[in-house]
């Protein structure tokens, strides 16, 4: 058996340990795989990003639709009330924006006929006329009977003459009273919620103001509201 020379063995050992060459095809394939992975990640990100934007836009659109519906509903509500009194008609513009809850309550009571036959049970000249249940005066009696027609406090537009309001005191449906001011009354700021103003029939308000009353400011002859008609336009 022939002996292999040490030099030959050394050369064979070096050949075995040498690095294996990677073909160009393998390199290209690896690069393609990396590119595909990157493109897939980018596409996935864009998909979820677009989906999130669409969801946000849909939610915003729904909110806008609800707001538009609410505004439309508010716009469709009657904006005027015509009080048919035993002295004549009084047309009132309702403050739907300024006092929405009170206006809603007032409209609901009008539709239920709450004000039909309501009497003006207190008439204070140069101050206020008050309609409601005479048996349920409560706190309102205190400030109406202690009226100060000549108060010199600063007057805001909502406390001018011919304003329609109701008491701030808590009350149920039967306790919802109406007040029409007949002069500027700044001291009612903490007592009265103004939710409308008389735009026609001021002379009727003044005629009611002039009726004869007793020492308790109660009209000697019954005078009140026959019915209330609601209108969107006048």
Mean pLDDT in order along the chain per 10 residues (234 residues): 56 55 78 86 83 72 50 69 96 92 93 93 91 60 50 51 85 75 78 90 96 92 95 88
**Contacts of residue 122, Cβ cutoff 8 Å, sequence gap at least 6:** 128, 129, 130, 144, 216, 217, 218
Q: Are 179 and 165 in contact (CB under 8 A)?
A: yes
Longest dimension (CA), the chain: 150
pLDDT of residue 135: 59
DSSP class of 171: -
pLDDT of residue 74: 52
pLDDT of residue 152: 41
pLDDT of residue 94: 95
Task: Classify residue 105 by burial, with Cβ atoms within 10 Å: 0-12, 13-18, 19+.
Answer: middle
pLDDT of residue 138: 46
**Contacts of residue 87, Cβ cutoff 8 Å, sequence gap at least 6:** 204, 207, 208, 223
Q: Are 128 and 147 in contact (CB under 8 A)?
A: yes
pLDDT of residue 104: 93
State the pTM of this model.
Answer: 0.63
pLDDT of residue 132: 84
């Amino acid at each position: 058996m022939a002996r292999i020379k040490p030099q030959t063995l050394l050369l064979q050992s070096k050949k075995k340990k040498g690095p294996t060459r990677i073909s160009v095809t393998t390199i290209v394939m690896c690069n393609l795989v990396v590119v595909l992975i990157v493109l897939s990640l980018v596409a996935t990100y864009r998909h979820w990003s677009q989906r999130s934007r669409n969801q946000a836009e849909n939610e915003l659109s729904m909110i806008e639709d609800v707001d538009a519906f609410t505004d439309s509903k508010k716009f469709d509500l009657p904006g005027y009330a015509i009080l048919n009194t035993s002295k004549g008609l009084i047309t009132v513009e309702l403050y739907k924006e300024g006092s929405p809850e009170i206006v809603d309550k007032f409209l609901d009571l009008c539709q239920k006929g709450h004000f039909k036959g309501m009497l003006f049970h207190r008439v204070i000249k140069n101050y206020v006329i008050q309609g409601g249940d005479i048996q349920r005066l409560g706190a309102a009696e205190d400030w109406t009977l202690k009226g100060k027609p000549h108060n010199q406090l600063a007057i805001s537009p909502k406390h001018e003459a011919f304003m329609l309001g109701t008491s701030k005191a808590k009350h149920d449906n039967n306790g919802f009273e109406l007040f029409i001011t007949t002069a500027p009354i700044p001291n009612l700021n903490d007592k009265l919620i103004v939710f409308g103003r008389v735009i026609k029939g001021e002379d009727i308000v003044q005629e009611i103001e002039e009726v004869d009353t007793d020492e308790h400011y109660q009209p000697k002859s019954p005078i009140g509201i026959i019915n209330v008609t609601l209108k969107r336009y006048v």
